[in-house]
Structure 1
Amino acid sequence: MSRSVRRGAAALLLSSTLLLSTAACGADTTQSLNSGSAVAATPSASSTFEKQKLAKTRFVANAGLAAGAAYQWIVKPYKAGKFKKGADGRTFAMVKAGLAGAFTYNRLKAAVNNAKGDPLLSKAVAPLSSGIDSLKELGTKLRKGEVDAADVGGLEGVINGIKDAGKSAGAEVKDKVPSASQLTGG
């Protein structure tokens, strides 16, 4: 048998095995769920505590990434005049700012969702939801070069509000600049 035929046979055997084992696992899972034999996990005091702890941790991570992206690629370049017509590197700065705006909005929404797992944090963050919603089109405005001082000021206000809310609930947020792959969704 030639080498390529052996490789093809081995690949066929391996994929068939994986397919059959996956199908068998799926059947068992479906059968146990349909028969009602699966035991539902009941939350305990420790799982509630862990859920709240993870909610704060996730909130801090997402809010920190949002704050870092906003400052690094929107606020700082805006204050340096990178978005003004005729500025050196304006197009590249606006593209990065547009990506950062969309990323910031996404991470702030995730942070608010994380905050729902902790009662104190949820109460502290609740008033900021409308401010976060106002940032929905920020990425598009930045890419088009339509951003102004009010937009950047509003962004800074929302970020500072999130940081203050986290601090008041025992979840201090520090800026964490995301990597380029995080920023582009990679």
Structure 2
Amino acid sequence: MATWIFGYGSLIWRPGFAFDDKRVGFIRDYRRVFFQGSTDHRGTPAFPGRTVTLEPCPGEICWGVAYKLKEEDKKIALEDLEVREKQYDMKLYLDFFTDLYSLTPAISDVMVYYASPNKELNPNYLGPAPLEEIARQIVKAEGPSGPNRDYLFHLEDALLKFGCEDPHVRDLANAVRRLI
């Protein structure tokens, strides 16, 4: 059985694994939010950056990219993803759509890394905050993978390249630009 991974953050522009197929599309009833702390990539334990997770939100959609793992590379890809996405405490298996008007998913059971709001399971969850506060944190944060603002700007650019303007990402990127 094929393994598909849904990327809605850095996996969009930098999957980091071999894949057989790639499709732009979305999952339903979730929205992308900068509520997850990053102490290993875009921040430090002393000053976490912010990365995206999903928030359940009936009626919303979250655009991203689904990747079909190469069967011969699946074991290595999943091991690498477990390290890369280690601050995400859950995996969800969701339906992935490519057509806004279809009720039938293009792919069922796409694996999605999810950072839950449960602080016992996910100590790096930062949660919601005013937009300007999130922007200030992103401007100041930097980790081994680079400045937190680069993550935000790469995400904004990647989404725009396939015709998606995410209001949360857009508003946050504009707030960060005002501060730098």
Higher strand share: 2
Which one has the largest radius of gyration?
1
Which bin holds the TM-score, normalised by the shorter protein? under 0.3
Structure-2-length-normalised TM-score: 0.25
